[in-house]
Structure formats: structure tokens, C-alpha cells
Structure 1
Amino acid sequence: MATQTITELELQTCSVTAPKTTQVGTAPGRPLSDATPPSSSTPSSASIVEEAYPHLAKSRAWIVITQLCGINFVSSFSNGLVSIGLPTMATAINIPNNLLLWPSSAFYLTMGSCLLIAGSVADVIGPRRVNIPGALLTAVMILASGFAKDAITLIMLRAIQGIANAMVVPTAISIVSNNVEEGTARNIGFASIFLSMPLGFAVGMIVGGLFVSTVGWEVGFYTGGGTGLLLVVVAMWALPKDAKLGPLTTTLKRLAVEIDWVGAAIASASIALLSYVLAMLSADTAHIKEPSNIALLVVSLLLLPAFAMWMEFQVKRGRPALIPNQLWKNIPFTSVCLMILLCNAVVNCMELYSSLFFQEVQLLSAIETAIRILPQVLVGAILSLLAGVLVNRVHVMASIMISSVLAAGSPLLMAVIDPSRSYWIMAFWAQLLAPFGVDVLFTVGTLVVSEAFPRKTQALAGAVFNTFAQVGTSIGLCITSVISLSVTEQSSVPNKESPQALMQGYRAAFWALFAWMIAACVIGMFGLRTVGKVGIKRE
């Protein structure tokens, strides 16, 4: 990403890091392992000079972090509102059963498939120029969703909101990475951004439940959209300016030359097709028998080796490669990507199946269910803040392994739970343990991934990390849905919709989640053993 221009006024509130020269693809600061792979994501062939990056004054930095967290919170708030209010919304605007999941699925499908492209563009033209339009589009789409009168309109608005969110998330990481001083402030910044997402979702579920049962679900969208517009105004003042781009022809040439468009298109197409098929299977496993879904699944999988071959081709030509194959030899980078895929799948599935357990097995209301899941959110908030403060004082191996082992206890408790017993005996502790793995990993993993990428491609680094998280959620929901439905159908209970039959399927899903957390622990044990501390302030 280009260096930001510093005016006289900005110099009064910013400190500037000294320019330094690094080899192409060498992450600034301490390498994560003994052999940090070279990258070809920049057009230079020998070395690049990373120009001075202005560090914001502490007060300004906290305003920036708060604004970035706020827009992510608002977007996630709308997701929680959709999740809790979907049955009522379906009745109000006549959403047919075959489209019932799409107001939620459309958001995640478009977001996951657009992250890499948005991150790549932001690294060329500047994160502010991508973040603010993304935030504005997010706010407008949330507000407009409250006025939707039919299913197709709502789904389209949610899909566009997903694209807008893909513009916001990686650029938020880039802004914090390049403009907030290394150390505790930056670590808390990363932690807070990721905290705002599950926190916003949970608040959306709780407040949305109140809106649905009182003034109406539309008010939730009006509230979220209005708040988002206020945050856009704050962003226009607070976010640090990007460097001047120069003539339009020069900018267009840079976009054409410095971005691996073919690689981004291949990766995005693969993710979009896979996410679509997984969403269809999550709704009904019988969809796998449809020729169109089989074809799309095959194409999405074939695009993966095609992407690897294109990366190799680009590297040999000395052209920009989106994610060079050599980067996967960086064991810590590969490990945290795989771990976030598994851990994000587990925490999202835990939230879903815990909700189903409380509502379908224990027959509790939506509000009662939201209250029982609330400890997961509160603990997650505390963990994220603690991770931001302590990540530079504790070895990565210790923090990741301890938190992941504790998180594995959550699905284990739910897998062996007795539904007739008190909430406080097992279910409560399962909710407390659920966020341990992912909330710590998001903070630590972001630092690991950001150090694996050159400083000029921090938006792409954030996009890669979040893409793995999004894909993990899609895969997790699909696989657990298949497992749960299959076990329920094969149960000896005559009524397959009874709490007893459903519980057998849910138990199987919880056992699968437990296995995934154990797999994440094993990956961390071997993949992160060479990593010391991250997020340390360097002179």
C-alpha cells in the first residue's frame, strides 16, 4: 500500500517510523520462522523500499479503532437481527421455504468471494478509499433492508451488503497495521475489530428479539443503518488519508499491473461456487443429487489446482502473484490459516447447535435461548481484550494451545449433556468455554499473517485470513448439517422431529466439532512451535 501523505497538521499528531529497506516478500520485523518465503506480490524484482508510515497519536488512534470496530459491529448486528427475526420476516414479506436461508447465506457468500479482490485493490489505491465507500454501502444496504417488501429485494440487499463488508474488513486491518504503533495499541486494535463482529451479532440477536416482539423487525434495520451512516461521517474525519494517486491513467495502470486479477478471479470463483453449493446442502442434503450442484462443486474443486498452477506461472514470469505458492512453506502462516478455518467453524456451529438445543430440545423461547448463549459473548469480549493486552508477553504456542484445549471442552460437554439437567451444570460451562479458541486465535493469527506479508499488502493479508474464516464457517455448517440430519433420520425414535430424535443428531454434530478442535490443537502443536512472541513493539 502506498505511503500516506503527511501535512503539517498531521505532523503535529503523528510520529513517523524510519524508512527501511526489505527484500521482496520479507515481512517487516522478526521473521516468523527461519525461512520466510519470498513473495512476488509486488512488481519489483530485487528489493523494495518501504517508505515511512505515519503513526497516529494515541488519542487519534483510539478514535480510528473505535470507528472501524463500530462499522463492523453494525454489520454484524444486522446479521444477528436476520438470524433471530427470520421466521417473522418470512411471514411478513412472504419468503418461500426454498429461499428461507438466503437472506443470511447471500451475505456470507458474496463477502467470502470478494475479500481477496477488495484487499488487493485497497493495497494499490489505499485502504481509506475502499473502506469509506464500503462503510457507506453497508449502512445504506442495512437501512434499505428495513424497507424490503419481498424476498428477492431483501436477498439482493443482503448480497450487496456482503460485498460492502468485504471492502470494510481487510481495509480495517490494513489501517490498524500501518497507522497504529506496534505494541499493545495495535494488538488491542486487532482484537477489538474481531471482537466487534461476534459482539454485534449477539447484540443483534438480543435486541432484534425485542424489536421483533414489540415495534417490529424493520426498526432494527433502521437503527443499524442510521448508526452506520453516523459512523461514515466519523470515518471521513478520523481515518488517516491515503497517498495521492496521481493521474487517472497512472492509477488505472497500477491497478492493471500490480494486481493479480486472474488469480483473484480464480480464487473468488472457487470460493463463491463452493459457498453456494455448501449453502444449498446446509438447507437440504438432497440438493447434492442435482446435476447443477454436482457440476458447480466439481468446478470449484478443480479451480484450486488451477489457482496453484497460475501462482507458479506468475512467479516464473516475475509478475504479481496473489498468494505465491512459496508462502505456504511458511509453516506458522499455513498453520494459523488452517486453525482459523477449523476454530471459526467450531464456534459458529456451537452457537447454532446450542441455539437449536435450547429451542428444539429444551423447548425454550428465542429470548430465553439468547440469554443462555450470552455468556459466550461476554467471555469472548473479555478474551479479545486480554489477548490484545497480553499477546506480546506470552509465547504464541502457550496462548494458542491453552485456549484451544479449553475450547475443545465446549463441544465435548454438549456432546455428553443430559437435556433434563439444569443449565448451570453443563450447558453454562460449555458456553463459557466456546469462544476461548477463536477469540485468542483471531488476535494472534492476524499478527502472524500480517508479519508473513509485506507491509504494502496488509489489506490482502487481512483478506486471506478472513477468507479462511469465512470458508471454515461454510464448510462447518454444511458438514454438521449433513451429520445431524443423517443421524436423526437413522435414529430408532419413530418421530424424527421429536426432541429425542433431534438430540441424537445434535450430539453427533457436537462430537464432530470436538474432533475439529482436537485437530486444531494438533496443527498448532506442530505448526507454531518455532514462533516466539508476536505483536512486540520494535524500535
Structure 2
Amino acid sequence: MKSSSFESSSSLSLKSASDVQLTSIVDANSQEADIGTVPSKQLLRKVAAVAYLCGVSVTSSATNGLIVIGLPELTEDLRLPPSLAFWPSSVQGLATASTLLLAGAIADVAGPRPVNLLGCMFNCIFMLTCGLVKSGEELVILRALQGVATALHLSSSVALVTKVQPQGRGRNLSFACLGLSQLLGFSASLVVGGILIDTIGWRSGWYFCGGLTLLLLAIGWWALPRTSCLSASRNTLRSLQVRVDWIGAFLASVSMSLLTYFLGVISTNVDRIRSPESLLSLSLSMITAVLFVCWMHSRVKNGQVALIPNELWKNPCFTSVCITVALSFAVLNSLDLVTSLYFQEIEHLSALEAAIRMLPSTVVGLTLNITTGLVVHKIRAEKQAVAGAVFNTAAQLGNTMGLAAMQIISTWVTKQQEKVKSPTHALMEGYRATFWTMLALLLVCTIVGAIGLRKAGKVGSKHY
């Protein structure tokens, strides 16, 4: 009996030891699995967040491509008057440039996540609505509203990348992808839009972009990091009143809007530059610009938050980047639009044939963007959203003013040449004048970059 009892207890003890050993092994394996699962989920969220930001930029840029390649068809189908010929393309940039600074300031206070998701949602709505328009005026209005939604996305994208990606190669690559996505969306929409226009119509492209943006909204809701900037809505509203420079944002928006409106008015008829309406808008634009600079000085002097501190422009690298970005986008978008019109109005090619001939320029742009790190993440962390807003404001303002300036030059030269040449040859002379103007702007851009970025340093190694 004792032997039996001993054997029983021995087997029990051995079994217990075995169970304990197996349990510890299982626990260790489960801990290793948990440890491996957490980083993989974090990595998936990071990749999804960057993919979401790039995807929204792709769809937003794709709508610009749809306008560029489909402008002749849009003009005919919607009976767009000549005075609004360039406005479907330029009005979005005008609205974006006018609201980017304010959107960036709000993103700094309320957090970039809700601002970006709100911009994505409105982008989706306005894209789908653009496919339902019945007149050219409706399209211009909806494009302006889409520009405001784009401002919400662009102003907060830079800050979100810095939250998702740590400093280093990953962050630089993410910034490059943001720039790359805009060219990808634009170039893809040229080809796809050309096919759609020649087959089932131009409206289907807007439906596709809107549906894709809706899918991206769901991805962004899950992937974007939650910000803990402010928890209570009462505190948020209070901070928006105190920390956002509403007067500065108003002055900047009014100045840019009036200047672009002035260019838009005289673009249809250069002789209208002498009209009281044009002179008033130009004068008010200059006055509000001066008031904006004085207001920034007053805010900084009194220790208050300034939308764009004047000392920021003393940084030669920052100023040079803003100037080169504005000039580059002024040429880039104008070149695409005028080239598309040349192929379709002068060469009488179809939309798809014109799109294929425009692809080489986008290939060069894609190659350059892959190697781009830029200097966005060199700005102090608390100013990242505002810095992103300033850079994007420069781009959108350059886009709008470039299109307006090119239309003025093209219209004026064409009008002069119509006296001695046929309409087609006169139109060609107008396009030729815009090409020479764009070449001159690029030369200025090169000079500014060569002088202003001499001491920029290595990207990622120095913070300003």
C-alpha cells in the first residue's frame, strides 16, 4: 500500500511538474506571440495611415487631371462661358490657398486627425456632386468648396506624418510619397480620364474618385493616430478662440482672394484692368497684405500666437522653398492645361491621345519626387501643421496665380494676332507666348533655389 501510495504521489508530482513546465512553455509562447503581434499591428497602422494620406492626395489630384484633360468636353457639355474657361481648374487652388493657413492653425489646436478626416469626408461629397452638375457655374462653385476640403487635408497631412513616422528615413520617404501621390493621381487621371471621356463620358471619373475617397475615409478612421491635444469640447472651443489667429487668417485669406479675383477678371479681358472694380480689388488686396504683416508684428510683440511670424521669413531656406514651390506649381499646372488644350484645340487629337503625349512630363516628376525629402520636418514640432499649411499655400497660390497669368497672356496675344492671322494660328501664338513665360519663371525658380538653399544642409540632420 505504501509502495502504491508512493508511486501514486510520485506520478502525481511528475505530472504536476510536467503540467507546470508545459504551462510555462505555453505562457512563454503566448507572450512571444503577443510581443510579435503588437509591433505588427502598429506597423500595419503606420502603413495604412500613410497610404490613406497619399490616397486622398491621389484622388484630389486626379480631379485636377480630369479637369485638365476634359476641359474641352466640359466647356461644350456644360455650356461654360469663355469668361469661366479656366475657372474650373483654378478656383480650387484659390479656395485652398485662401483657407490653408486657417486650417493649419485649427489643426494645431484641435488636432490633425479630426481636421483631416473632415476634409476627406467633404472631398468625397463634393467629388460625387461634381458628377451631377448641370451647368458650368455649378461646377465652379463645387470646385471652390472642394478646394476648402482639400485645404483641411493638406494642412494636417504633414503633422500626421510626423506623428506616425519617427524621424529618419521612414519619415523622409513618407514625405516624398505625399508629393509623389499628387503626381501619380494627376498622371493616372490623364490616361483613365481620357479613356472615360472617349467612351462613357466625363462624369464617371468623378463618381470613381468619390467612391475611392469614401473607402479611404474608412481606412483613415481606423489607422490615423488618436490625438490627445484636448479632451473636452469646451476647452477646445476656448483654445480655438485664444490660440488661433483669426484676424490674421482673415487678412491673409482676403488678400489672396482679392488678388486672384483681380487676375481672374482681367484674364477674360485685359482692358478691364482700368475698370473701378479691378482697381478696387487690387488696392484692397495690397492694403490687406500690408495690414497682415503689421498684425503679425503686433501679435509677436505682445507675446500672442501669430499665424505666420515675420521672423519665419528671415530663414533663407524657408523663404526660398516657398518661392520655388509657388513658381514650380505656377508652371506645372499651367503647362499641363495649356499642353492639353494645344493637343486638342490645335492638333485636334482626342482626349486619350492628348493624355498619352503628356505622360513623359509626369514620369520625370515621379522620378524627382522619389528622391525628395524637402525641409518640412525641419520646422519645430509645434509649428509643423502651420509650416505644412504655408508650403501648401505657396503651392496653391502659385497654381491659381499661374493659371490666371497664363490666361491673361494667352488671351491678350491671341486677341492681338487675330487682326492679322486666322483664329487657329492666333490661338497658337497665344499658347506659344505662355510657353515662353513659363520658361522664364522656371529660370527665376532655378536662380532662387541656387542662392537661397546654399546652406540648407542635409535633410534630417538639422532642425530650425
- The residue aligned with 2:455 is 530
**Comparing 150-159 and 92-101, the one that deviates more:** 92-101
Decide whether the 8 Å contact of 1:205 with 1:370 is kept in 2: yes
- For residues 506 and 527 of structure 1, what CA distance do their matches in structure 2 show? 31
Q: Give ranges in structure 2 of 5+ residues lacking alignment.
A: 1-33
TM-score between both structures, scaled by the size of structure 1: 0.74
Decide whether the 8 Å contact of 2:54 with 2:177 is kept in 1: yes
1:352-403 per-residue CA deviation (whole Å, 9 max, x = no partner) reads 233333334434332221111111112222221233xxxxxxxxxxxxxxxx
Residue number among 63, 73, 91 corresponding to 2:58 in the alignment? 73
Match runs of 1:117-516 below 5 Å? 117-243=102-228, 245-387=230-372, 443-444=373-374, 447=375, 449-452=376-379, 454-491=380-417, 494-499=420-425, 501-516=426-441
- For residues 85 and 356 of structure 1, what CA distance do their matches in structure 2 show? 9
- The residue aligned with 2:7 is none
1:250-299 per-residue CA deviation (whole Å, 9 max, x = no partner) reads 11111111111111110111111112222333344344233222211211
- For residues 484 and 92 of structure 1, what CA distance do their matches in structure 2 show? 23
Post-superposition offset of 1:536: 4.4
- For residues 255 and 143 of structure 2, what CA distance do their matches in structure 1 show? 21
Post-superposition offset of 1:119: 0.6
- For residues 533 and 475 of structure 1, what CA distance do their matches in structure 2 show? 32
In structure 2, what residue type is equivalent to 1:451? Answer: K
- For residues 338 and 440 of structure 2, what CA distance do their matches in structure 1 show? 16
In structure 1, what residue type is equivalent to 2:458? Answer: K
Decide whether the 8 Å contact of 2:70 with 2:197 is kept in 1: yes
In structure 2, what residue type is equivalent to 1:485? Answer: T
- For residues 174 and 10 of structure 1, what CA distance do their matches in structure 2 show? 28
In structure 1, what residue type is equivalent to 2:354? Answer: T
Percent of paired sites with the same residue: 41
1:154-205 per-residue CA deviation (whole Å, 9 max, x = no partner) reads 3332221111100001211110123212222111211111222232123223
- For residues 166 and 194 of structure 1, what CA distance do their matches in structure 2 show? 15
Decide whether the 8 Å contact of 1:279 with 1:474 is kept in 2: no
- Local SS of the residue matching 2:306: coil
Decide whether the 8 Å contact of 2:110 with 2:230 is kept in 1: yes
- The residue aligned with 2:13 is none
Provide the aligned C-alpha RMSD in A.
2.6
1:110-151 per-residue CA deviation (whole Å, 9 max, x = no partner) reads 111110111100010110010001101101111122222333
**Comparing 98-107 and 457-466, the one that deviates more:** 98-107
Relative to structure 1, is the Cα distance of residues 11 and 259 closer, same or farther in structure 2, using a 3 angstrom cutoff? farther
Post-superposition offset of 1:458: 1.2
Post-superposition offset of 1:537: 9.7
Decide whether the 8 Å contact of 2:260 with 2:404 is kept in 1: no
In structure 2, what residue type is equivalent to 1:527? Answer: G
- Local SS of the residue matching 1:498: helix
Q: Give ranges in structure 1 of 5+ residues lacking alignment.
A: 1-8, 16-55, 388-442
More helix by share: 2
In structure 2, what residue type is equivalent to 1:128? Answer: R
Decide whether the 8 Å contact of 1:142 with 1:222 is kept in 2: yes
- For residues 368 and 44 of structure 2, what CA distance do their matches in structure 1 show? 23
Larger radius of gyration: 2
Post-superposition offset of 1:507: 3.1
